[in-house]
Amino acid sequence: MKKLIAVMLALVLVLALGATALAADTLTVAFSQIGQESDWRTANTDDVKNAIEGAGWNLVYDDAQQKQENQVKALRNFITQGVDYIVFTAIVTTGWDEVLAEVKEAGIPLVLIDRFPQTGFADDSWYTTYFGGDFPEEGARAARWIVNYYNSLGRGSEEVNIVRLEGTTGADAQVGRSKGFDEEIAKTPNFKVVASQTGNFTGAEGQAVMESLLKSVEKIDVLWAENDNMALGAIEAIKAAGLQPGKDIIIVGCDAIKLAFEAIVKGEMNCTVECTPLMGSRVVEVITGLEAGETFDKVVHPVEYVYDSMGGIPYTADGAALTLKAEDHVSERLY
């Protein structure tokens, strides 16, 4: 028995040493995620984690549970651990200068995804590259879709009241989408944002805020929700108020998740502006390239589309891109 234990211990030791030797030449990539507020976020987390692990690298993952202070702590832990790369999504745009200066000081390359942090650094050497949605353009696309949709019905000169459910206040995705939408909708003064409140990118808050808007706003023609989960929550509130979502109130969301496609197919939602959460392959491409001494464009946006029930509605500034039918794409959508 003693001999068996000795042999087993020896085996464990050999395995442990082997793993350490392996770990020494394997990259360690840390990923600071903001939380799990939406289906988009879950898909993003899974995709990035799987890609890092799939590349054979060690993953150090941190979920900040929607708190900036947790993200700051995570970044400092990554520095202490001496990770090789940091992949970072900033929950809000401001308040990062101190900790990001520490990351730079530590010489750890920073790969930005999804939400861009605004900093006061003199140059842009504090990060390698950013990959994420063009948020002002997404907001503008939602506004163009609404106006062009009404035009397609011959109702473009009506007074149209829009209510907005905003994302997490101060998040790049919220700030950008709101700004892009406001600038675009201002070009058509009979379309007005009559109420705008945060629903924090969650279904539950989208539902609760819509419930109160239905009571306080006299005439709601259109709901623009800065993500699909809030739109889906609002649909529940609209039904509970005895109205038909997608008909009595036109509903436009953002992200293009499978549940939104399904709601469009059912006729309960009208449009979703795409923002892809699939960033894992870009992260691997960037880190692999950086290892080989390559440099990357500082800001890269993925190619994205807009989906509705009928297709053919223009949504870009030049009028060239036309909406795709959600029905044709629902089966291929995995998140």
Residues that bind ligand GYE (CB under 6 A): 37-38, 40-41, 114-115, 133, 173, 201, 227, 254-255, 275
Q: What H or E segment, with its residue span, contains residue 191?
A: strand 191-198
Q: Which amino acid is at 187?
A: K
Report the nearest approach of ligand GYE to the CB of residue 255 (Å): 5
Report the nearest approach of ligand GYE to the CB of residue 13 (Å): 45
Enumerate the β-bridge partners of residue 29: 59, 85
Q: What H or E segment, with its residue span, contains residue 325?
A: strand 324-325
Report the nearest approach of ligand GYE to the CB of residue 173 (Å): 4
Give the nearer residue to ligand GYE in terms of CB position, either 112 or 220.
112
What one-character-per-residue DSSP string does 48-117 give?
A: HHHHHHHTT-EEEEEE-TT-HHHHHHHHHHHHHHT-SEEEE--SSSSS-HHHHHHHHHTT--EEEESSPP
List the one residue out of 210, 124, 123 whose CA is nearest residue 163.
Answer: 210
List the one residue out of 35, 36, 33, 38 whose CA is nearest residue 228.
Answer: 38
Structure-token match 């109420």, residue found: 195
Give the nearer residue to ligand GYE in terms of CB position, either 38 or 207.
38
Give the nearer residue to ligand GYE in terms of CB position, either 173 or 313.
173
Enumerate the β-bridge partners of residue 59: 29
Give the nearer residue to ligand GYE in terms of CB position, either 42 or 309.
42
Give the nearer residue to ligand GYE in terms of CB position, either 94 or 216.
94
Report the nearest approach of ligand GYE to the CB of residue 58 (Å): 26
Give the nearer residue to ligand GYE in terms of CB position, either 84 or 174.
174
Report the nearest approach of ligand GYE to the CB of residue 130 (Å): 13
Report the nearest approach of ligand GYE to the CB of residue 158 (Å): 29
HSE-CB for 146 with a 13 A CA cutoff: 35
